[in-house]
Structure 1
Amino acid sequence: MEALILQMLETFKELSYIGIMLALTFEFVPAELVLPLAGYWVYEGDINLFGAIFAGSIGGVLGPLTLYALGRYGGRVAIIKFGKYFFIKEEHINKSDEFFEKYGGSVAFLGRFIPGVRTAISIPCGMSKMNVWKFILYTYLAMLPITAIYVYLGYRLGPQWENAGEIFSQYANYLLIPIVILIIWMIVKRRKLSTQ
């Protein structure tokens, strides 16, 4: 499967930045594969680092936007029926629903940093008819640092770009610590507001 995806990505390479955006629009193509590979293309001199990060961040919004639309216009029944085509199981939807119930619209940002919630979080955002512009903004703000790290790792690793995911996971906790602090702060703030 990975070999097939890599072959497809080589076709996208010919489309340059638009190819990166398109590759990330399909939720079945892992960003963990596309972004370091884009970094390798930077290393090879085919594209610019900042252009790759920008294109990757836009593509990182387009993919979740398709799931948002599925949630908004298809509802839970359609998601359970068609979610398998996006590698989304009902348990992912349930986890995302619970997360959305706890944290509201901010999950469009926070959920991107949590494995098991990351992909499916767009669905409850759509089902709750969250403002689409707010959803796009939150998703972009979350995708920008993740994209930048993966593309930069791919660039620095050069021909060993496939090791980027392993390296990212070693340092992911340093990225997650400020997110956890933000979540705790939001919970405390929400509880204070509900008791007033």
Structure 2
Amino acid sequence: MPRHVLDLRRIVTSTDDDCGNEVPSLRRSRRSRCSPALPFLPSCCNCDLGSVSMGNAAGHVVFEFMHPELAPDHKNPPTFDPNLGFLNGRKERVMIATQEELNELSIPLEKRDYCAHLYVKWLKCRQQNYPLCQRCHHEKHDYEQCEYDDFVLRMKEYEREKRLKMRAERIQAKKLAEDLE
């Protein structure tokens, strides 16, 4: 198996922690403690997840593997109301560039997003200033900043959906516990 591929079989191997609980771990370490922020590990265990923690690229893969019912499905629309928690609603995002304009300019499908108008502006600037395309660095910067902001917004939406699913599960568990009492 290539070294760059995450081997999920290592994650599900279970070992006993100091309390006798079975916990998933990648490797054992005496000097590190588990973060209580990781919901699938007890706070008293003595295991180290290595590079799998919040903020790492593979963290969402591990979370989706360990908790498939809580992991948001990024291929489908959100399951919760988009305005939930926003008092005055949210500003709707609109495409500035029209479909006809994008078709006329033969813009690739992967560039047809909310930043397409800035991409068109950058391409037109490059065409006007050729061969001195470095004069269009402001347009390029604007386009790349828009793409970055779009990525951050999508990341926040994913995390929001994940938190709302976890909240719904906590509420359901609390109601179930109250019903049993």
Q: TM-score, normalised by structure 1?
A: 0.26
Structure with larger RCO (C-alpha < 8 A, sep 6+): 1
Name whichever structure is richer in helix by fraction.
Answer: 1
